[in-house]
């Protein structure tokens, strides 16, 4: 109880609560703008959060991360364009409902399912937190190295059809982390005598370039689109109660979201795909999926909104981000010298609980905001994409320059912006580069520490958790190879 009260005391601070409100409302607005999304907003805001306390900065970013999917459902349902990529499945049934005049019902179902998923995941995490705190001391350098390696493997394997490209991009990210002054022997690596490379490639500069500037370039090269917004009349409270008709789907979908969120590299896409497939398989009207079935909206929205709280588990417990958004938030920890990992759960459990409770509060704030402001919020979809692109470009360059007052950083960010733009054009993933930078640095540090205590390769996995993690790596690779060979055999049989 003392721990819980201590966490509430942290959240009761005016600056923390203000950051939570701004982040929550801002996240909904950003999510409702097609072409922007949480990744771009967080990338732009990162430099500004470095001047804040860790709990304030993280609360603001958490607000954007947790609420953007609420907002992303609005354009997905009204104009058949997902506000964030993870709302794509919502278009399947949301837009057909809008076309037959049920826009308000579809929106309120999406809000209700997202709220249900968010609260479900937070309750799971609060219950799991003491368990995590008890096993945290069992994680040493070799366990964290293997967990990071598992994250790398899963990130690559989840990019089906692009595994080679994802693997190369992860390796490129790991390589970028090796550039600059090496921390043990203090030797220069891959600097080629250039002083501007001595301090390495800054993660924030890369993040702003690959996510924000590349999206700005993308929007600036697009034609402005004018959307015809359908009328949305009536009260949302009545529709919100309808979620209880689908409580089984909402619970199972949220469960998929929690599990997928806790596994690095899996995330929202896999969770909503599993949830949607389950809903269709168990539905009495499977033929209506994709034609405006409310069950489809509940399944996808409950699953994707339960992932953000769960994704905080590997980030806080092991310092391992599951995808690009948590990788960005990890940089806030590092800037303030707060090291996520077992020691955080052991020594600052009130800080961890405060973040969980902040997620709970933001879900309440967001649902209240959406119930009263949806019709006003819809107008952000009318903002021209080129204007958005110019705004993102301007704020991104200001953010990069403010880091160290360096034009060199702006030039590097612009270079990575072009690189990210090319990746988007080729339909290749950008997140493996960021995860390679973050996890590569962590793996190098932990590997160096672990190697001083082992005499043979088998010593590396002679502890229970290390062995389990190693077995999971082998199992993940083995399952992927088996599935690939089976699919290949089926294709040959059908040919």
Tokens in use for 325?
């958004």
In a domain, 493, yes or no: no
* Per-residue pLDDT at 322: 66
* Per-residue pLDDT at 339: 75
Q: Cα separation of 418 and 209, whole Å?
A: 8
In a domain, 444, yes or no: yes
Q: Determine what percent of the chain is predicted with pLDDT higher than 90.
A: 7
Neighbours of 419 (CB within 10 A): 18
Tokens in use for 476?
């993940």
Q: Is the dihedral of CA 444, 474, 470, 432 positive or negative?
A: positive
In a domain, 478, yes or no: no
355: enclosing H helix or E strand: helix 349-377
Contact (CB, 8 A) for 134 and 342: no
Cβ-count burial 45-59 (b if 16+ within 10 Å, e if not):
bbbebeebebbbbbb
The string of DSSP letters for 23-79 reads HHHHHHHHHTSTTTHHHHHHHHHHHHHTTS-HHHHHHHHHHHHHHHHHHHHHHHHHS
The string of DSSP letters for 320-353 reads --SSHHHHHHHHHHHHTT---SHHHHHH-HHHHH
In a domain, 472, yes or no: no
In a domain, 25, yes or no: yes
* Per-residue pLDDT at 356: 81
Tokens in use for 223?
């034609």
Number of domains in the chain: 1
* Per-residue pLDDT at 421: 93
In a domain, 485, yes or no: no
Residues pairing with 189 in the sheet: 180
Q: Cα separation of 257 and 82, whole Å?
A: 19
In a domain, 464, yes or no: no
Query: What dihedral angle (degrees, nearest 10) is formed by the CA atoms of 285, 288, 290, 292?
Result: -110
What integer is the mean pLDDT of 61-70? 83
- Residue-wise pLDDT tens digits, 392-408: 889 888 888 887 888 88
Query: Is the model's pTM score more than 0.75?
Result: yes
Average pLDDT, the chain: 82
Q: Cα separation of 121 and 137, whole Å?
A: 24
The boundaries of the domain holding residue 409 are 1-453
Contact (CB, 8 A) for 264 and 321: yes
Shortest CA distance to 222 belongs to which of 398, 416, 424?
424
Q: Cα separation of 474 and 11, whole Å?
A: 42
- Residue-wise pLDDT tens digits, 74-115: 888 888 777 777 777 888 888 888 888 888 888 888 888 989
For residue 135, pLDDT beyond 70: yes
- Residue-wise pLDDT tens digits, 263-320: 766 667 778 878 888 888 888 888 888 888 889 889 888 888 888 888 877 777 777 7
Shortest CA distance to 444 belongs to which of 266, 182, 248, 215?
182
Residues pairing with 188 in the sheet: 181
CA atoms within 13 A on the CB side of 277: 7
Decide: residue 348, CB within 10 A, 0-12 exposed, 13-18 middle, 19+ buried: middle
With H, G, I as helix, E, B as strand and everything else as coil, classify residue 241.
helix
For residue 416, pLDDT beyond 90: yes
* Per-residue pLDDT at 236: 67
- Residue-wise pLDDT tens digits, 192-245: 888 888 888 888 888 888 888 888 898 888 877 766 777 777 676 766 778 888
In a domain, 491, yes or no: no
**Contact partners, residue 435, CB within 8 Å, separation at least 6:** 151, 152, 155, 170, 173, 265, 321, 323, 324, 327
Tokens in use for 415?
């270079």
Q: Cα separation of 355 and 346, whole Å?
A: 15
Decide: residue 290, CB within 10 A, 0-12 exposed, 13-18 middle, 19+ buried: middle
For residue 137, pLDDT beyond 80: no
CA-based end-to-end distance of the chain: 64
Of residues 69 and 133, more confidently modeled? 69
């Amino acid at each position: 109880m003392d721990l819980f009260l201590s966490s509430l005391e942290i959240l009761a601070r005016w600056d923390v609560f203000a950051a939570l409100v701004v982040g929550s409302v801002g996240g909904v607005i950003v999510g409702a703008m097609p072409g922007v999304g949480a990744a771009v907003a967080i990338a732009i805001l990162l430099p500004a959060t470095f001047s804040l306390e860790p709990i304030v900065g993280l609360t603001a970013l958490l607000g954007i991360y947790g609420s953007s999917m609420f907002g992303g459902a609005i354009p997905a349902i009204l104009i058949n364009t997902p506000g964030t990529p993870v709302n794509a499945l919502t278009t399947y049934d949301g837009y057909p409902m809008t076309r037959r005049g049920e826009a308000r019902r579809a929106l309120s179902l999406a809000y209700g399912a997202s709220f249900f998923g968010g609260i479900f995941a937070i309750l799971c995490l609060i219950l799991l937190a003491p368990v995590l705190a008890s096993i945290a001391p069992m994680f040493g350098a070799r366990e964290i190295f293997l967990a990071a390696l598992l994250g790398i493997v899963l990130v690559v394997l989840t990019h089906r059809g692009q595994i080679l490209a994802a693997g190369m991009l992860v390796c490129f990210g790991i390589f970028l982390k090796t550039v600059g002054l090496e921390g043990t022997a203090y030797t220069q690596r891959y600097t080629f005598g250039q002083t501007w490379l001595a301090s390495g490639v800054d993660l924030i500069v890369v993040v702003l370039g690959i996510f924000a500037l590349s999206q700005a370039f993308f929007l600036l090269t697009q034609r402005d689109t004018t959307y015809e917004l359908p009328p949305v009349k009536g009260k949302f409270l009545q529709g919100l109660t309808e979620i209880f008709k689908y409580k089984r789907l909402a619970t199972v979908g949220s469960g998929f979201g929690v599990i997928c969120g806790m596994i690095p590299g899996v995330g929202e896409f896999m969770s909503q795909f599993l949830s949607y497939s389950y809903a269709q398989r168990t539905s009495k009207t499977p033929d209506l999926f994709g034609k405006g079935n409310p069950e489809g909206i509940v399944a996808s929205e409950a699953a994707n909104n339960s992932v953000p709280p769960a994704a905080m588990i590997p980030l806080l417990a092991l310092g391992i981000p599951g995808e690009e958004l948590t990788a960005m938030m990890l940089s806030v920890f590092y800037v303030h010298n707060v090291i996520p990992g077992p020691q955080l759960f052991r020594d600052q459990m009130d800080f961890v609980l405060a973040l969980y409770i902040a997620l709970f509060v933001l879900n309440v704030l967001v649902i209240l905001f959406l119930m009263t402001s949806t019709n006003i919020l819809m107008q952000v979809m009318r903002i021209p994409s080129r204007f958005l692109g110019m705004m993102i470009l301007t704020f991104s360059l200001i953010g990069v320059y403010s880091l160290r007052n360096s034009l060199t950083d702006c030039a590097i960010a612009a270079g990575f912006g072009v690189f990210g733009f090319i990746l988007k054009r080729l339909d290749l993933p950008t997140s493996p580069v960021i995860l390679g930078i973050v996890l590569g640095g962590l793996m190098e540090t932990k590997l160096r520490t672990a190697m001083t205590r082992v005499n043979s390769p088998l010593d590396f996995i002679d502890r229970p958790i290390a062995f389990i993690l190693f077995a999971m790596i082998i199992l993940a690779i083995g399952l992927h190879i088996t599935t690939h060979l089976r699919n290949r055999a089926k294709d040959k049989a059908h040919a």
